[in-house]
Structures are given as structure tokens and as C-alpha cells.
A and B are shown apart, each in its own frame.
Chain A
Amino acid sequence: MSVGFKAVHWNREKLIYDAILFAGVVLFITAFVGISYWIEPPKDLPAAIDVRIRAFGTCAFVMLTVILSIGPLARLNPWFRTILYNRRHFGVLTFAVALLHAWFMIEWYDAQGTLPNLLVELTTWSDYGKFIGFPFKVLGAIALLLLFLLAATSHDFWLAFLSPPIWKWLHMSLYAAYGLVVMHVALGIMQYDRNPLIPLLLATCFSTVAALHFVAGWRERSTDRARGSDGWIAVGAPGAIPDQGAVVVSASGGERIAVFRDGTEIGALSNVCAHQNGPIGEGRIVDGCVTCPWHGWQYRLSNGCAPPPFNEKLATYPVRVRNGIVEVSPHALPPGTPASIQASVG
């Protein structure tokens, strides 16, 4: 949080997460190479490098698919929030795997002494006007560049330096990178390798990501439409708010408000975390503090202030109980203003 920057804020959960992630990548690549060698042992060095290119390329594509699926999955089912946490390490590892894929491709040309052919491929300008025959490696190179930018700026230093809105926009380019990778495969290996698994994997992964985003977005439309007028917004009975959890409502301006309950204390905070605009309302109260599900940033329910020595503050909203129903004002108070109340939970 705000006390100072460290390269990585390691904790037990992150170590376990990274260990599982790394083991998964090693297992995938080992299995891919093993099965490929078993089906058709490579005849020479370029053929052996080709297997590595495919293994690392497929692994990076599957990892990108998983990364883009985690967000909507976490909105559809709270269980997936455990994977959401520390997603940035997943992204950095994906860049490393994609970089190795590109490195083996250069090695493949080098092993045959045809490295200049790569340059010819990329600078045959007439091919850029074609659809089938388009220099697909360029699409992969642009995607790799985007992944590098995202990995290099994933640290909190860059978040603070660029400001959260710009950082968020930059990191939305992951979607463009994914689109480029899909077309890199579709116009590349899918054109000259007739293995039906290639289009099948490509279409399945792409459809899964698209469908998950569509379903999650569709379900959230109801939250945004259920806006109050200028008056207070009804949340429900105190008991309807999960203990140490939240109900998210939408203010008249469309910004979301997370109404938390901690025993008999009820308070409302902005649903946007001060760190990376994470969805506070999908988090829980841990050690007496509202905890963001993305990276564990914490705030006091009573006033939206991070506990010492941190100094981040969230906007709070007035809450009241009328006729047994918790209501929240759509008008935000200045960040750090005490606004929680005590209510009996029937």
C-alpha cells in the first residue's frame, strides 16, 4: 500500500499461487513435448525446436485465455476470486512463456542458417495487403510487445506513476493482444498444419472468453439499472447483507456503492479500490477491515480509511435504517468521513 514500494510483497498465499502456476506451466510444456515426441520423434534439430515453439506458443495462448476468463468467472462465482488474487504474477509468467516462444522461433531460423529469411518475410510489403498470406509473425510480435508493456508496468510503482485511470486503460490492451494472438495462430500455423486440434483449440478458447464476458456483463446490467432516484437507495433488511460481506448497489450517477455489514455495524463505501479500481464489494471483512479481493488492500468500514501506517481513503456514503430496511444515500461524502451505523440484525 502507501508506505513504500517493494519489488514484490511476498506472502504465503502468493508463494503458493506462484508455485502452482509455475508447476502448471512446467507440466503443460513437458506433457506437450513428451506427447509430440511420442507421436512423431523429431528427425533433426529444427524439428526439435519446432516442437518447443508449438509447446510454448500453445501454453502462452492457454494462459492468456485463463487470465481473461478469471475476471468474469470471479463475478459469476465467488470461488474464482482466489485465482483473481495475484493475477499480475500470472500475466508476467505468460509474457515470459510467450518470449521463449519467440526466442525458439528465431533459433529455428538460425539452426538452418536462414535468419535473413525472417527479415524478408517481415519486409515483403505486398504480403501486408493479403488476408491469407499476411505476415502473421508481425501480429505475434505486436502482441508480445503489448504483453511486455503490461508485464513491465504491472508493479505498483507504475500504477502510482501513471495514475490508476491511465494504468487501467493501458492494461485493457490485453484484450487487443489476445485478438492479435488469435489471428496470429489463425493466419499462421492453422494455415499450413491440418491438425484439426488447432482450429478446435482456437475456437474453443476464443468462444469461452467471449461467452464468459457476455454472460457476466449481462448479469451485471441489472445492478446498474436498479438505480435509485435522487432519494435514498433501498438495500434490504440488515440480515440480507451477508455478515462480513457486502451488497453492491448503483447510485443515480451509475457509480457503485458497496454496503458492508460487520456484525451489527453497517457502512457504505465506494466500490472502487484506491489501488487498481478493484471491486471492493466483492471482497470481505478480514481482521476488522474491508479487504479488496484483487490485492488485499484494506479499509476501515467506519470511515473508509486504510489502517496505519497506510493513508489511502475511500469515499463513504450515509446509511440509515427505515422500517427495517437499510438505505444508502447516493451522495458520496468526502473520503475518510465516518458514516457507519449500528443496526439490530433480526
Chain B
Amino acid sequence: MKRSHRRVHRLFWPVLALLVGTGLALALIMRAPPPAPPTVVEGQR
């Protein structure tokens, strides 16, 4: 790998990692809550 490649690689990697890491964290935080388990009430059909 030439020096120019290494320089871009070192700049590109942290930026991409930060972007994807932020996206991943947001996707996890903004996940819809799990659906509530169905409750069966006696006598109700």
C-alpha cells in the first residue's frame, strides 16, 4: 500500500466507522417496542 493509500485509508475508516456506528446505534434505539403479549380475559370472545 502506498503512502497516499494509507493516508486516505486512515481518514476514510474512522469517518465510515463513525457514520455506520451512529446509524447502528440509532436503529437500535429507535426500534419499535415489542408487541404486548395477547391477554385473554375470561368470558370474553
Interface size, chain B (Cβ < 8 Å): 25
Question: Chain B contacts of A175 at CB under 8 A?
Answer: 12-13, 16
Cβ of A203 < 8 Å from any Cβ of B? yes
Do B13 and A168 have beta carbons less than 8 Å apart? no
| B38 CB → nearest A CB, Å | 16
Shortest Cβ gap from B12 to chain A (Å): 7
Interface size, A (range): 20 to 34
- 27 A-B residue pairings within 8 Å (CB atoms): A131-B30, A132-B32, A168-B1, A172-B8, A175-B12, A175-B16, A179-B16, A182-B23, A182-B24, A183-B27, A190-B27, A190-B28, A199-B28, A203-B28, A210-B13, A210-B17, A210-B21, A213-B17, A214-B13, A217-B9, A217-B13, A220-B6, A224-B6, A254-B3, A255-B3, A272-B2, A277-B2
Q: In the complex, are the beta carbons of A172 and B12 less than 8 A apart?
A: yes
Q: What CA separation (Å) do A255 and B4 show in the bound complex? A: 9
Smallest CB separation, B34 vs chain A (Å): 5
Rounded to whole angstroms, the CA-CA distance of A131 and B31 in the bound complex is: 11
Binary interface encoding of chain A residues 111-138 relative to chain B, with 1 for a CB under 8 A from any of its CBs, else 0: 0000000000000000000011000000
Main SS at interface, chain B: helix
Is there contact, CB below 8 Å, between A190 and B31? yes
How near does chain B come to A169, taking the closest CB pair, in angstroms? 8
A194–B32 CA distance with the chains assembled, in angstroms: 10
Task: Let me know if A22 is at the binding interface, CB within 8 A.
Answer: no
Among B9, B17, B19, B28, point to the contact of A186 (Cβ < 8 A).
B28
A19 touches B (CB below 8 Å): no
Question: What is the distance, in angstroms, from B6's C-beta to the closest C-beta of chain A?
Answer: 8
- A179, B20: Cβ atoms closer than 8 Å: yes
